[in-house]
Chain A
Amino acid sequence: MTKHELKMLTLMAFVAVFTLFISILCGPAGLPSLRNDLSAWSALLELRAMRSITGFVVGAALAAAGCVLQTILRNPLAEPYILGISSGASVGTALVMTTGLAMATPLLLPLGSFACSLLTILLIMAVARRAGGIDIPRNLILTGIVTGSVLSSLLMLIITFSRTHTIRSITWWMLGNLQCVSWELLLICALPVILGILLLIAEAKTLNAMLLGTENAHNLGINTHRSILKLTGIATLITACAVALSGIIGFSGLIVPHIMRRRIGANHRYLLPMTALGGGVFLVVCDIIGRIAVPPHEIPVGVITALTGGPFFLYLMTKRNQH
């Protein structure tokens, strides 16, 4: 990593801390006076801090997973949704919610989410392997898209048979909800995300080699088969944790790595930490907008990511074509 890259990374870390600070101060209710009600003040700050950190963790997880999948699949449109990982995680979380298991212990939400996304990715790998091998990105993408569609329908089926109050919470969760229910759940999900991102950064040289395609990566000394399994497994884990925390939030895993790659290149030693920090900042900023745009109402963060990220992505595409 060059001195410039290190400087940019430090700057990004400062931006992240600053954004989190602003996020804690912002909200439709503003901040109550410290003199009037100290307990309300601290409770509100705690809620907002939990929400901001959740947003940051989820954004970082989705962006890092998207970055890795874009490289492995050699497809700029790849993200956790394209492989059906998010859909698998959604089904798992919805099952835990509808069966009432979520009330027993918060640990079951990420566990259900991870179990279903793991089953999904294993199924995709098995089918892709039979279709010609997991080293061929096309096999993984096609299998992932079809599996994702089937799982989305399964999610709708679960909702159809749910009780009215559960339908409401699942619908809210499907739009993306960063208000985490407890510090315990946040900690349970954040630790695997942080560990997963560090493991991905440790695989930066493998990811760099994979940019040349699987055969060239093999010639550079990479065991491509094992690496694809390992990297997809880590991306699945961190996506499952993100979905368990916040529900379905689109675009974060697509546009942040895409923009970062275009701005700073694809050296994953630098790209991955920058993308993770950038993803965290993006989601926290989207959440701030959702909270203050139309007070006292709150717009779900998934709506904001789609409304801001989508057009910006289209703008980038047209700019690229003009270029």
Chain B
Amino acid sequence: MIDLKNISLSYDSKKVLHNISLKINEGELIAVIGPNGAGKTTLLRVIAGALKPKGTVLLLGRKVHRIPGAERAALLAMVPQNIDPDIPLTGYDFVMLGRTHCLPRFGVPAHDDIEAVLEAMRRTGTLELKTRFFKEMSGGERQRLALAMAFAARPRVILLDEATAHLDLHHRAAIMSLLREMNRVKGVTVIMAAHDLTLAGRYFNRLILLKEGHLLQDGPPRSVLNAQILEEAYGCAVRVIELPDNLGSAIAPLENSEII
């Protein structure tokens, strides 16, 4: 579905992605992990077509930059890490932004658009935020609305940049279950940049580990969440503890780690 061939990218003189090649199949559930500045967000932005790197990014066999905006937005939705909290829109109008690619120029949104928005709000538990202004909401509520906006687009690929960072345990679990359900039932491909390694190991089938713009590891959680590999990536000693009942692994840093 997504094919990255020899991707390199620099910001001014600093190289942030080094010759990365990846193949992502339809229906995969992927977490991109790595320390700060590893290039996780940049990789998502490259896949979304927001940045033009050296190399080729193919979405369904077509260069992502060549796909017309409306068509690309129907295929691929992005949930950003931070959204300006001062946006003077109600929750409903905000989620409706996810339907921008198919809204008419004049007149009211079609029945299908309204249905998609309400369904997304119902699934993310944000229906009660429908008439409240975005700027009056908490960070967690805004984050759930951002997810609802992406769901409302009914895309085939969802990119999430630290999308659960502001959520409490309950909402984090609910959103992750929802992402898994969408992946299982509707075949939506999910790619999320994540800092929480325990969460990444618990909910995702494939982990992509980056370090300083290089692809360090790519595989199932069991092979990537290895104490030696994580120590090399993060520069600190960790302990990987297997959790019972197939809940994945908990990652704990060791206290005597060197602080840089």
Give me the interface of A with B, judged by CB distance under 8 Å: 1, 74, 201-206, 208-209, 211-213, 215-216, 218-223, 261-262, 265-267
B48-A219 in contact (CB<8A): yes
The yes or no answer to B253 lying at the interface (CB within 8 A) is no
Complex contact A201–B100 (CB within 8 A): no
From B71, which residue of chain A is reached at the shortest CB distance? A221
Given the contacts A202-B105, A219-B77, A220-B100, A265 and B93 also touching, CB distance less than 8 Å: yes
Chain B residues with CB below 8 A from A218, complex form:
48-50, 69
A308 to B98 alpha-carbon distance, docked (Å): 40
Residue of chain B at shortest CB distance from A226:
B69
Given A205-B105, A222-B100, A216 and B83 touching (CB < 8 A)? yes
* In the complex, chain B residues 69-102 whose Cβ is within 8 Å of any chain A Cβ: 69-74, 76-78, 80, 83-84, 87-90, 93, 96-98, 100-101
Out of B45, B74, B93, which one reaches A267, CB within 8 Å? B93
Closest to B104 in A: A205
Q: Which of B80, B101, B103 contacts A216 (CB 8 A)?
A: B80
Does A219 lie within 8 Å of B83, measured CB to CB?
no
Nearest opposing residue in chain A for B69, CB measure: A221
What's the minimum C-beta distance from A209 to chain B, rounded to whole angstroms?
5
With a CB–CB cut-off of 8 A, which chain B residues contact A265? 88-90, 93, 133
Which B residues, 220 to 242, have Cβ-Cβ distances below 8 Å to chain A?
A: none
Of chain B, the residue at the smallest CB distance from A214 is B50
* CB neighbors of A among B83-135 (8 A): 83-84, 87-90, 93, 96-98, 100-101, 103, 105-106, 108, 133
Chain B residues with CB below 8 A from A203, complex form: 105
* Whole-angstrom CA separation of A202 from B49 in the bound complex: 26
The 8 A-B pairs at the shortest CB distance, nearest first, are namely A221-B73, A221-B101, A221-B69, A266-B88, A219-B78, A220-B100, A221-B70, A202-B105
A1 & B100 in contact (Cβ 8 Å cutoff): no
- Cα(A266)–Cα(B100), bound, Å: 15
Chain B hits for A213, CB < 8 A? 84
Closest to B93 in A: A267
**Which residue of B is nearest A216, CB measured?**
B80
B106 touches A222 (CB 8 A): no
Chain B residue numbers with a CB within 8 Å of A261 are 88
State how many angstroms separate the Cβ of B255 from the closest Cβ of chain A: 39
Q: Give chain B nearest CB distance to A132 CB in angstroms.
A: 11
Q: Inside 8 A of B87's CB, which chain A residues have their CB?
A: 211-212, 266
Is there contact, CB below 8 Å, between A208 and B89? yes
Tell me if A262 and B103 are in contact (CB < 8 A): no
Q: Which residues of chain A have C-beta atoms less than 8 A from B84's C-beta? A: 74, 211-213
Query: Of B50, B73, B74, B97, which one neighbours A215 at CB under 8 angstroms?
Result: B50
Q: List 18 extra interface pairs beyond A209-B100, A219-B48, CB under 8 A.
A: A1-B108, A205-B103, A208-B96, A208-B97, A211-B88, A212-B87, A216-B80, A216-B83, A219-B50, A219-B73, A219-B76, A219-B80, A220-B100, A261-B88, A265-B88, A265-B93, A266-B87, A266-B88
CB distance from A201 to the nearest CB of B (A): 7
16 pairs, A vs B, C-beta closer than 8 Å = A205-B105, A208-B93, A208-B100, A211-B88, A212-B97, A215-B80, A219-B50, A219-B73, A219-B77, A220-B100, A220-B101, A221-B69, A221-B70, A221-B71, A221-B74, A267-B89
